[in-house]
Amino acid sequence: FRFSSISRFVLEKFRRNMADERNGNGEQNHPAPKLNHRIISSMSRRSVAAHPWHDLEIGPDAPTVFNCVVEITKGSKVKYELDKKTGLIKVDRILYSSVVYPHNYGFIPRTLCEDGDPMDVLVLMQEPVIPGCFLRARAIGLMPMIDQGEKDDKIIAVCADDPEYRHYTDIKQLAPHR
């Protein structure tokens, strides 16, 4: 699918999410917590781990280039997912087949989809990276999907800092075997 032919609804929602993030107009049901309140409490002097979904900025260059958090490493048979309460990456299951994740897979922080999860992203890049790290990505396409009867589209992106992939702007530019 070409990025330019993505469902207008999904693309507009993605852009609206990022515009709301920049303007501080988060949805009423999911207000973005203030970063300093979650990261360090000056009153108690206790550190609190940053939550990758709520505390990580989407990035100053969004929607062109945006931050994303990797949950599943390229080549892995382990299905990890974000634990929404703690912000930690937990093991969901081990894939019982010869199938592996073809590229790094994760989510875009401070986004919310119809399924109640952050927006999913598959990031094409040369190397696997560890679960829980974040990187800068550029969307080049969309993979429409249905999961348990609900729409669960995946953004296809390239790592903005990978010299082999950063020049791609559309999924049609990729070689068929990628």
Enzyme catalytic residues: 101
Identify the three-state secondary structure at position 151. Answer: strand
The number of C-alpha atoms within 13 Å of 22 and in the hemisphere containing its C-beta is 12
- Read out DSSP for 7-46? -HHHHHHHHHHHHHHHHT---TTSPPPPHHHHHEETTTTE
Identify whether the C-beta of residue 142 lies closer than 8 Å to the C-beta of residue 119: no
User: What's the chain's Rg over C-alpha atoms?
Assistant: 16
Residue keyed to tokens 């930690």 = 88
Q: Measured between alpha carbons, how far is 148 from 117 in angstroms, rounded to an integer?
A: 14
Q: Measured between alpha carbons, how far is 57 from 22 in angstroms, rounded to an integer?
A: 9
In the beta sheet, which residues pair with residue 50? none
